[in-house]
Structure 1
Amino acid sequence: MGPLASLPVFFDLAGKRVVMAGGGPGAAWKAELLASAGAHVDLYVPADGIDGEMAELLAVPPESGVIVHHDRPWATDVFAGAAIAVGDTESLAEGQAFACAARAAGVPVNVVDKPSYCDFRFGTIVNRSPVVIGISTDGAAPILGQAIRRRIETLLPPALSQWAALAARVRGAVMERLSPGPLRRAFWERFTDSAFTTKLPDAAAEAAAGGFIDDLARSPEAGGRVTLVGAGPGEAELLTLKAVRALQAADVILFDDLVSDEILELARREARRMLVGKRAARDSCRQEDINAMMVSFAKAGKHVVRLKSGDVSVFGRAGEELDELARENIPVAIVPGITAASALAASFGVSLTHRDRAQQLRFVTGHSKKGGLPEDLDWHALADDHATTVFYMGGRMAAKIAERLIHHGLPATTPVAVAANLSRDDETRAAGTLADLGAIVARIGVDRPILIGVGRVFTEHARAASADPFMVDAGRTAVG
């Protein structure tokens, strides 16, 4: 382990005595915090030294702990029997005196905003008690600590405190009936899936937890399941929170080769990772083999995450996988991802359904199982000047797509937008007109994932590109 600036310790203050000095806002906040931890706070400050916040605090008894006001200054005789001491002093000299007196009595001390006289510090807190998270920057950057707290709070639903209480109630049964290792982890991972929701646990949730313990005790394979996870267009920050939780709970991850390394870095370190990508014109796993692997691992009691680029339910062949898992009676869940069309809109800074330009939005596959254009597409319907159409996997078919659309009545001047490797550092994009679509894609290159947008929502980009018809915008552009 690397060096620690300070040791994070969670101190049980329930029923313990705390010496507090000062009547200002800093003292009020610390007194409230200490009382919430169950401490008996003896506050030493003359009545005329109490400001508004402290007065409000003293007027209402705390929900836990006790705050007792002593109308007198602190002195050396107040520290005996205290667990800790906290002083909010006006001067540096008084702070030094308070710290020296506490230390002489063998009491750890904190002097507010005077780090040199502190044996311990108060970090920033995320409270989902009994789950409590403390964040410390060792006094160097409190604002950074607060920013980190806000990030963590978005990950921890308010209902987590009740789920933690339920966890305490079922822990005994888990310890008694499930052997250490995979079985206990299988239970807690499934339990955590429920805990990280906005739903409060009820009697049914407790019964379900008990039932799952019974199932695992009878059959270790009962913990097997599959989660289909959408990895989004590529950038790790575009993952959903639920997707990250699934990755961190996985035993096995079967991932496409379009999934970025930075996304895989978020996965549980112990998870087995297997590349099962399918790409045009490349050797790849057959869908039947992927299905068989999911079933085999799940039946061995593993949590399998099938990690797909984009959104699971948009041209991801999820239907075949869901059918196979249903046939084998394997529990499956879907975690949606941001589909590539949304990333295209973000990159170009457009609305795909701009009310003045598009009354429809269509997602269309750009190639069939045989590798050419799908034969059953209604090209006449697709050639609609009042719609936005996004072609997935259409790079190699770009020229034929343009030819079909123009043949069925879509103007050759219709704006188009093309992007490769959306949301990644090597994203490349270009715009132009339908007549030039084949040439635009050829300049970008077809060896990377290509997305093609067709419609008047890209008018401004096509107009800008008309000044330089050979322009290709290389390099990622952040929008919004």
Structure 2
Amino acid sequence: MQTVSSQQSNKRIAELAVLPVFFDLRGKRVVVIGGGEPAAWKTELLAAAGAQVDVYAEEVCEELSALASTSIILHPRPWTPDDLEGAALAIADIEDDAEAHAFIAAAKALAVPYNVIDRPEFCQFQFGAIVNRSPVVVGISTAGAAPILGQAVRRRIETLLPQTLTQWALLAAKLRGKVMDQLAAGPQRRAFWERLADRAFGSRAPDASDENINLPAASAAGRVTLVGAGPGDAELLTIKAVRALQSADVILFDDLVSSEVLELARREAKRMLVGKRAQRESCAQDEINAMMLSLARQGKHVVRLKSGDPMIFGRAGEEIEMLERHGVGVSVVPGISAGLALASRLGVSLTHRDHAQSVRFVTGHSRKGVLPDTLNWAALADPATTSVYYMSRRTLPGIVTELSARGMSLETPAIIAGSLGRADEQIWRGTIGEAVNAVEAFPLSAPTIFAVGDALSMKRAHVTSDPWNLSQYTDSIGIIHS
């Protein structure tokens, strides 16, 4: 049984350029040196965090002058090292290097964390871009390398976090004591908070019914979520998939799942590699089933993370049947299957008004590792239907032989794709007659799909900067399997 992941997958967190920390400044004294607009912005930010701000500057801008209050005191004189005494933080807007060095020396002598605005080489800590849903506060840093990129990240996050998140966070703080008293630590509490988090990302603010929320003991029974990881690009995960990864206790993942996807998982989650691929040691399906069942019976939330979509040649049906037979709750989060990923990667449509009115996803091998003997080759030889053969690296020559024998022209367009969406991705385009030789360049262990049909001759008019510009799929999609 393979229960230990690769070194890369075992690493719970990638290398950090800086450590994100949050200062509690409520009622604490902070020193700001300088009277320009940069100092004014930092002063307003510090006061919003509850700090008592002392500003030292011979001259102050109009914006800073307007901020003067009981929590922001302006001292119209040059700063001295003694002014930093007792400060929780010290921030300066200084352009002169000699003065900046003097400021740093004074701060170090008094063990006060320091920052010279817009001069990373003179900073012990940095201010990042902020998304404010206080008490939920998101800080974004590029370690001083690309502030504009940090602002772009902030704008992206702003669109994901509803304004009502502030009210849900305040409700969470209000209920925290009750939860601590009435629910046992571990799965029970986490289950409650996950339910509240699901509501927080809805479309409404909390109301009186939420404030009087019932706190029944959460079920100790575990559950399993089958999650589709898609072709490898973490940005193609659904929000629901990310939430499942963030709430997992254990993640059983295939070796085709990328490290970028695993990086989105809950840090405390145990990760276990159970991948199955040609010519590699792997867990048997019975072993995977036993692991899921055992872990769920321990009250854990188990995420079975599969590349592509779990319901397409992912043996999800066997796993669901086994779990339900033993009374374990199971749910499914879909992912982007390899066939659809290939179409969007190349900008070709699997269906076309003039060339193909349906799509078939076909297994490329049976349990014995050869072509299934139940496939309807006469139907598959119809060039007006786009067929995508999964797991077809070894059986591709046999597929071409069968299609040709049923009348399909050897000039029919074809695509071979291996390790789609990964660093070692290979893509070939040609005809089915040429594919037999072309597939020899693909490693036997590479997850390979073989697409065939007249619609594949169509090329997109232009290439976008986004290789995963997902197309809209119409008409019927059929799935054929052994």
TM normalised by structure 2 equals 0.70
Which letter does structure 2 place at the counterpart of 1:202? P
Larger mean Cα displacement after TM superposition, 81-90 or 163-172: 81-90
Query: Do the aligned residues in 1 keep the contact of 2:230 with 2:336 (CA within 8 Å)?
Result: yes
| Selected match of 1:172 from 169, 177, 188 | 177
Structure 1 equivalent of residue 128 of structure 2: 123
| Partners of 1:24 and 1:389 in 2: CA distance | 66
| Partners of 2:115 and 2:208 in 1: CA distance | 46
Q: CA separation of 1:168/1:31 partners in 2, compared to 1, >3 Å: closer, same or farther?
A: same
Q: How far is 1:195 from its partner?
A: 6.7
Task: Say whether 1:194 aligns with 2:198.
Answer: yes
Which letter does structure 2 place at the counterpart of 1:430? W
Relative CO higher for 1 or 2, CA cutoff 8 Å, sep ≥ 6?
2
Q: CA separation of 1:140/1:389 partners in 2, compared to 1, >3 Å: closer, same or farther?
A: closer
Q: CA separation of 1:246/1:88 partners in 2, compared to 1, >3 Å: closer, same or farther?
A: same
| Selected match of 1:132 from 137, 150, 160 | 137
Structure 1 equivalent of residue 339 of structure 2: 341
Please give the residue correspondences for 1:204-353 in structure 2 after superposition, counting only pairs within 5 Å. 206=210, 210-211=214-215, 214-216=216-218, 221-222=220-221, 224-234=222-232, 239-240=237-238, 242-259=240-257, 267=265, 271-278=269-276, 287=285, 290-353=288-351
Q: How far is 1:415 from its partner?
A: 0.6
Q: CA separation of 1:288/1:8 partners in 2, compared to 1, >3 Å: closer, same or farther?
A: closer
Q: CA separation of 1:387/1:130 partners in 2, compared to 1, >3 Å: closer, same or farther?
A: same
Query: Do the aligned residues in 1 keep the contact of 2:58 with 2:77 (CA within 8 Å)?
Result: no
Larger mean Cα displacement after TM superposition, 9-18 or 331-340: 9-18
| Partners of 2:371 and 2:35 in 1: CA distance | 76
Query: Do the aligned residues in 2 keep the contact of 1:39 with 1:66 (CA within 8 Å)?
Result: no
Q: How far is 1:254 from its partner?
A: 2.8
Structure 2 equivalent of residue 473 of structure 1: none
Between structure 1 and structure 2, the one with the greater Rg is 1
Which letter does structure 1 place at the counterpart of 2:172? A
Q: CA separation of 1:408/1:226 partners in 2, compared to 1, >3 Å: closer, same or farther?
A: same
| Partners of 2:212 and 2:408 in 1: CA distance | 56
| Selected match of 1:394 from 392, 395, 402 | 392
| Partners of 2:416 and 2:283 in 1: CA distance | 28
| Selected match of 2:416 from 415, 418, 429 | 418
Unaligned segments of structure 2, at least 5 residues: 1-14, 460-465, 469-482
Structure 1 equivalent of residue 43 of structure 2: 31
| Partners of 2:320 and 2:292 in 1: CA distance | 11
Deviations 1:326-384 (A, max 9, x none): 44443333222221113323554534345564443332223445655455555454444
| Partners of 1:119 and 1:446 in 2: CA distance | 52
Q: How far is 1:136 from its partner?
A: 5.2
| Partners of 1:29 and 1:306 in 2: CA distance | 47
What is the percentage of aligned positions where both structures have the same residue? 55
Larger mean Cα displacement after TM superposition, 409-418 or 101-110: 101-110
TM normalised by structure 1 equals 0.70
Which letter does structure 1 place at the counterpart of 2:206? D
Larger mean Cα displacement after TM superposition, 120-129 or 17-26: 17-26
Q: How far is 1:433 from its partner?
A: 1.4
Q: CA separation of 1:261/1:18 partners in 2, compared to 1, >3 Å: closer, same or farther?
A: closer
Query: Do the aligned residues in 2 keep the contact of 1:95 with 1:114 (CA within 8 Å)?
Result: no
Deviations 1:201-258 (A, max 9, x none): 63598479744xx323xx6x23x11111112234566555654553454333333354
Structure 2 equivalent of residue 469 of structure 1: none
| Partners of 1:411 and 1:131 in 2: CA distance | 61
Q: How far is 1:322 from its partner?
A: 2.9
Query: Do the aligned residues in 2 keep the contact of 1:255 with 1:307 (CA within 8 Å)?
Result: yes
Query: Do the aligned residues in 1 keep the contact of 2:275 with 2:283 (CA within 8 Å)?
Result: yes
| Partners of 1:123 and 1:167 in 2: CA distance | 26
Unaligned segments of structure 1, at least 5 residues: 462-477
Query: Do the aligned residues in 1 keep the contact of 2:361 with 2:388 (CA within 8 Å)?
Result: yes
Deviations 1:44-80 (A, max 9, x none): 8899x646xx39x94xx99xx977797x944669969
Which letter does structure 2 place at the counterpart of 1:169? K
| Partners of 2:375 and 2:18 in 1: CA distance | 64
Structure 2 equivalent of residue 366 of structure 1: 364
Q: CA separation of 1:442/1:50 partners in 2, compared to 1, >3 Å: closer, same or farther?
A: closer
Which letter does structure 1 place at the counterpart of 2:49? A
Q: How far is 1:309 from its partner?
A: 1.9
User: How many pairs align?
Assistant: 446
| Selected match of 1:444 from 442, 445, 464 | 442
Query: Do the aligned residues in 1 keep the contact of 2:351 with 2:359 (CA within 8 Å)?
Result: yes
| Partners of 1:104 and 1:422 in 2: CA distance | 56
Structure 1 equivalent of residue 474 of structure 2: none
| Partners of 1:443 and 1:103 in 2: CA distance | 61
Structure 2 equivalent of residue 435 of structure 1: 433
SS at match of 2:217: helix
| Partners of 2:467 and 2:251 in 1: CA distance | 31
Q: How far is 1:26 from its partner?
A: 1.6
| Partners of 1:284 and 1:106 in 2: CA distance | 54
Deviations 1:155-178 (A, max 9, x none): 766554344323322321332234
Which letter does structure 2 place at the counterpart of 1:343? A
Query: Do the aligned residues in 2 keep the contact of 1:156 with 1:196 (CA within 8 Å)?
Result: no
Q: How far is 1:395 from its partner?
A: 3.4
Structure 1 equivalent of residue 478 of structure 2: none
Larger mean Cα displacement after TM superposition, 434-443 or 450-459: 434-443
